[in-house]
Structure 1
Amino acid sequence: MEDWRKIDIDALDASTRNKRLTSETILANFINKGIIHKYSSQELSNLIGEISARINKNDYSSSILEIVVKYPVYAAEDSSLKLHYVQLINNCLVNTKDIDPVLKQLSDDEIDVLLKYCYKIMSLTELQATGQYIVNWVYKIISLHGQGVVLRYITDRKTI
């Protein structure tokens, strides 16, 4: 049996052992561990070009399916390019007329990413004018996939 007088009580205290993590440190840890990819300006410009080309062809739903949810931009070197990317995603979501077939083609992980983009768009003051369309997307996502999607969004530390 261990002598109880030699136990370091301060080492067992959660307030001294676990410092509060900020979103920047969490993001840096994810990048360092290779969990998420930090997009360079060139890579993000290429994604923006692909989405813009599809928008010019009025191909909104496949751009959501093939580009947006496959390549989530959690971290980028240039924040203005990331904002432009989110604006293009907003344009795709607003102009997609038939939502249900798009949502039925996505997996659970892709739905989680799409919901993250919806909440990101709703949080930006520049894009609040289109909020009614995004709320419709959130409503459809929850009605088709359940409330677990929202719970996963709330507990996930990887934010867009």
Structure 2
Amino acid sequence: MSQIDFRRIDVDQYDPDSFISKEDLTPPCKPVSAAEQQQVASEIRGAISRGEAKAALPIALDFAPYGGDDQVKDAHLKSVIEILSATKSAEIPSVVKGLNKEQQDVLIKYLYKAMGSPQGQSQGVGAILLAWYEKTVDITGQGAVVRYMSDRRTV
């Protein structure tokens, strides 16, 4: 009988199900074109110009371009920042309460992304984002932040 130390053999290397790539962990997302994003952006701008920023936010959050390239994502971030800036601070709690749980989670994603981008740090937008963040977390609790941190899909 041969002298093999079975405790040193890595049996997982032979199991094909044990290999997980980064692509396997990221849920599939449909690709989003720049034309689709521009159409949604014009719809959002129209709602803002009519004074319906409260109605424009769910449209923007439902369209989160997970499958888009960086230019599409940045353009959509700009649209979301326009909505957040156009909303009065007294209306923020009612707007957040009017969103469903998934939309609230996407809103948290956009708030974090905006705070980390140059668009969100210009001309007083930072204070608006912090007000939105504070009131959103007051309503949703810390669960939305935890879901943001654990979700692999980026906006």
TM-score by length of 1: 0.77
Q: Summarize the alignment of residues 127-146 of structure 1 with structure 2, pairs less than 5 Å apart.
A: 127-129=120-122, 130-146=125-141
Conservation of the 8 A alpha-carbon contact between 1:86 and 1:121: yes
Structure 1: gaps (5+ residues): none
Counterpart CA distance in 1 for 2:24 and 2:45 is 31
Equivalent residue number for residue 41 of structure 2 = 48
- Corresponding position of 2:71: 80
Letter in 2 for 1:155: S
Aligned residues: 144
1:126 is matched with which residue? Answer: 119
CA distance in 2, matches of 1:45, 1:8: 57
Structure 2, unaligned runs of 5 or more: none
Q: Is the 8 A contact 2:30 2:66 kept in 1?
A: yes
C-alpha distance in structure 1 between counterparts of 2:9 and 2:37, whole Å: 49
- Report SS of the residue matched to 1:74: coil
Name the amino acid aligned to 1:88: S
Partner of 2:96: 103
Compute the TM-score of the two structures, normalised by the length of structure 2.
0.80
Q: CA RMSD in A?
A: 2.5
**Equivalent residues of 2:33, 2:72 under 8 A apart:** no
Code of the residue aligned with 2:154 in structure 1: it is T
Matches within 5 A, 1:64-79: 64-65=57-58, 67-77=59-69, 79=70
Q: In the alignment, which residue of structure 1 is the partner of 2:52?
A: 59
Preserved contact between residue 112 and residue 152 of structure 1 (Cα < 8 Å)? yes
Structure 1 runs (4+) greater than 4 angstroms displaced: 4-8, 17-20
